[in-house]
Structure 1
Amino acid sequence: MFAAERRQLILEMVRANGAVSLRELARVVQTSEVTVRRDVRALEAEGLLDRRHGGAVLPGGFSRESGFPQKSHLASAEKTAIADLAASLVTEGEAIVVGAGTTTQELARRLARVPGLTVVTNSLLVAQALAHANRVEVVMTGGTLRGSNYALVGSGAELSLQGLRVSRAFLSGSGLTAERGLSTSNMLSASVDRALVQAAGEVVVLADHTKLGTDTMFQTVPTELITRLVTDEPPAPDDRAATELQALADQGVQIAVAGPGGGGTDSGGPAGRRPRRMAPPPAAAKTDDLPLPGQRRAHPGGGPPPQLRGAASLAEQPPGNGRVADLRRR
């Protein structure tokens, strides 16, 4: 395929989806990520798109929201690895909330095997994934159906969450930055996500590397309320994504990275690199020990919460020692 043909196809994919990862572009145009990166730079120089961490987006300061069919095919391997790792946090008999999104839908498919679990959700797709799980109780919010992502939104959804008390909220979004936290492109979705956060003792954000450093219109979870981030490993040359991870870690967000082969899946990273795994989660907290809704959990000794630990966790050492930034030298 000639360069002009590749670039036209790349441009069409970005216009159709809003944002596309370099890995996905390389797969579709059947070339290397190095070649795709050169094509993206050339298109950016012409003002036709913007480069973002490990991918390309529509030009402009904010990314627009893609439709669900398009999003479900973006970074699918990364989302699978993230879902595998996030599922290891959930323990038997726990009560959690799971927001709408393609990554949280992948998580829900893995939660069907957790006995005694109660899942509160505003997502029809999350509920569908758990519909035949005999050992899992699913509680749906009320609200108005938003067809683009099969989620219930509006005052009905928010009112049904009042007085709710769960241990964790698992949320995704359109973008994640250290400055503003998690954000989305839709006001109604953002409002419901904020209500989900208020019901949870801690917040776990699921976001693949293409969302790191991307800012969208409506803030859903400020950085100080994010307990953990479960993400995939950015491509080796992606300095900006590694910098964003370091900034999040410096603000006390615990980082867990699903590497190639992590959780029994292949995230598409370089061959031979060991998978990054997260330490086993602590036992589910008793209801009396949970912090007030929307507050960060207190940690012994004060200060920011300890980093997730594991053989290859990005947060193996205290923030500021350059562990996350080491990704930039790989």
Structure 2
Amino acid sequence: MYQEERLVEIVDYINENRRISVDQICELFNVSRDTARRDLVKLENKKAIVRTRGGAISPGTSPEIKNYRHRLHSVSSEKREIGKRAASLLEPGDTVILDTSTTVQACAGELENTEMTVITNSIHQAEILSGKDHLRIHLLGGQLHKEHGFLYGTSTIDKLNQYHVDKVFIGVVGISEQGLTVGHEEDGMVKRKMIEQAKQVIVLADHTKIGLTEFFQFATLEDIDVMITDCTPGKNFCELLEINRVELLVTEEEKDIWS
């Protein structure tokens, strides 16, 4: 494939998926990282993209995290399938922490009405879970992030210190060789403590999060036990997971968007 043809396809991919990483370009077009970076430089010079650390976004894409209520209406079928797979890992009697992400919210909606203890700092998760009579719900206190509906701060983290749970379900804005990242430091600090308090760490991330690095890193790949996603990632990322001993669960084994 000639470079100009590749550039057109890169722009088409960004328009459809909002962003692309260097690793994704390498996997999609079977080119080196140097070639991928040169492609992005050329597109940036044409003002067709905005380069970011590790990739690029559309010129019209705001790097700000979308308002939570807006994101609630855009929960995809992929996230719902990830949520179902995550919920299937829970057993009666489990103690579990759920973070604030919309993918984890999809998991909350799929939880069976059975004897379990759920801890969360999300007012949205708590509202969903309150309709399930047999669940015991602990809503963490703290300062309310009004825009995104989660509780954070030193009191939230201090309270988490008192809990030791079987599993934690964590959502991300980006997951890459740089680890697990989110857009808000205050959210990331709470997620970090949640991970410390759990025997098993399960990350829920649809394919659009893979290869992305956001503002604040709260964990490394080594901190994860299981990752659930909707499509088989590219070879490079799968190798990273294998090196860090992360078990990969894919909701649609036959679907491989990186081929």
Match of 2:90 in 1: 90
- Equivalent residue letter for 1:211: K
**Aligned partner of 1:245 among 205, 215, 238:** 238
Matched, 1:124 2:123: yes
- Give the CA deviation at 1:49: 3.0
- Give the CA deviation at 1:164: 1.0
- Equivalent residue letter for 2:95: A
Match of 1:139 in 2: 138
Q: Which moved more, 1:156-165 or 1:90-99?
A: 156-165
**Aligned partner of 2:223 among 222, 225, 230:** 225
Question: For this pair of structures, how many residues does the alignment match?
Answer: 224
SS of residue in 1 equivalent to 2:79? helix
Query: In structure 1, how many angstroms separate the alpha carbons of the residues matched to 2:194 and 2:183?
Result: 17
Query: In structure 2, how many angstroms separate the alpha carbons of the residues matched to 1:221 and 1:57?
Result: 24
**1:98-177 to 2 correspondences below 5 Å:** 98-111=98-111, 113-177=112-176
Match of 1:189 in 2: 187
- Equivalent residue letter for 2:219: V
Query: In structure 1, how many angstroms separate the alpha carbons of the residues matched to 2:135 and 2:174?
Result: 30
Matched, 1:47 2:40: no
- Give the CA deviation at 1:100: 0.4
| TM-score with structure 1 setting the length | 0.60
SS of residue in 1 equivalent to 2:96? strand
- Give the CA deviation at 1:198: 1.3
Query: In structure 2, how many angstroms separate the alpha carbons of the residues matched to 1:207 and 1:79?
Result: 8
Match of 1:259 in 2: 252
Higher-strand-fraction structure: 2
Q: In 2 relative to 1, CA 148–58 (structure 1 residues): closer, same or farther, beyond 3 Å?
A: farther
Q: In 2 relative to 1, CA 143–258 (structure 1 residues): closer, same or farther, beyond 3 Å?
A: same
Query: In structure 1, how many angstroms separate the alpha carbons of the residues matched to 2:81 and 2:152?
Result: 28
SS of residue in 1 equivalent to 2:166? strand
Superimposed CA distance per residue, residues 227-261 of structure 1 (whole angstroms, 9 cap, x where no aligned partner): 00000115xxxxx744223322232110000117x
- Give the CA deviation at 1:155: 1.1
State percent identity of aligned pairs. Answer: 28
Q: In 2 relative to 1, CA 222–45 (structure 1 residues): closer, same or farther, beyond 3 Å?
A: same
- Equivalent residue letter for 1:228: V
Match of 1:26 in 2: none
Query: Unpaired runs of 5+ in structure 1?
Result: 1-6, 22-40, 235-239, 261-272, 276-325
- Give the CA deviation at 1:47: 3.2
The 8 Å contact of residues 213 and 241 in structure 1, kept in 2 or not, is answered as no
- Give the CA deviation at 1:145: 0.8
The 8 Å contact of residues 75 and 102 in structure 2, kept in 1 or not, is answered as no
